[in-house]
Amino acid sequence: MAVFGYGRVSTVEQTAGNQRLEIERAGYAVEYWFADTVSGKAHAAQRKQFSEMLTKLRKKDTVVVSKLDRLGRDAPDVLGTIKTLAGLEVEVVVLQLGKLDLTSPAGKLMLAMLAAVAEMERDLIVERTQAGLARAKADGKALGRPPKTTPEQRKAMIEGYANKQSVSALAKLYRVSRSTVLAVVKPTASASTMKQ
């Protein structure tokens, strides 16, 4: 009956160490630790360390996570993960929920409600982000990365290309990539190449 800890962070700049510390401070002696660096949008089955942990679990083991979203991307994914772990007869502890058997009827109800709320919160964040982008666009703000070249440089590239200067030579001259030059001198060709 081993205790497995699992953590997830979204970027390499983050560390799952704080999640492990939180689990250990809650009184769990973590014998096996698994952590993924992957977006919260990835399903649990797509997480390398999580999948590896599943192969090591045995009946009566315990999996401890700090928060519910560590178990999956959205409500159906979290519920599927809990079902998989329950099928292995593994106890699942989510510190955020306190000591609650997530495989019991009451635990399943609580889990479904919390997973649905978490999913709704993510949807609201996306909605607010899109509204902010639309407002910025309406206000005339340029979205996306700033251009790597000035309008004058782009005009000179087009003229140079028309005068038989190679894409490589132009890229070297303006210290940009070949694809940047191609996007300027052949915008439709580079756009169709990017779609492929």
Q: What average pLDDT does the structure give for the chain?
A: 84
Between 4-13, 59-68, 104-113, 141-150, the lowest mean confidence (pLDDT) is in 104-113
Q: Is 3.40.50.1390 the CATH number for 3-119?
A: yes
Is the pLDDT higher at 111 or at 83?
83
pLDDT above 80: residue 13: no
Share of the chain above pLDDT 90, in %: 33
Please give the helix or strand (H or E) that residue 118 lies within, else none. helix 105-138
pLDDT at residue 189, rounded to an integer: 52
pLDDT at residue 37, rounded to an integer: 87
User: In the structure, what pLDDT confidence band is assigned to residue 187 with cuts at 50, 70 and 90?
Assistant: confident
Q: Is-catalytic flag, 10?
A: yes
**9 close to 16: Cβ distance less than 8 angstroms:** yes
pLDDT above 80: residue 139: yes
User: In the structure, what pLDDT confidence band is assigned to residue 188 with cuts at 50, 70 and 90?
Assistant: low
Beginning with the edge strand found earlier in the chain, give each strand of the sheet holding 62-65 in spatial order: 32-37, 3-9, 62-65, 91-94
pLDDT above 50: residue 175: yes
Please give the helix or strand (H or E) that residue 9 lies within, else none. strand 3-9
Amino acid at residue number 1:
M
User: In the structure, what pLDDT confidence band is assigned to residue 153 with cuts at 50, 70 and 90?
Assistant: very high
pLDDT above 60: residue 196: no
Q: Supply 17's token pair.
A: 């160490």
Per-residue pLDDT tens digits for 86-99: 888 888 888 888 76
> What pTM, to 2 d.p., does this model score?
0.56
Per-residue pLDDT tens digits for 71-80: 887 777 888 8
Q: Tell which residue, 30, 101, 11, has the closest CA to residue 19.
A: 30
Task: Catalytic residue, from 10, 51, 104, 168: name it.
Answer: 10
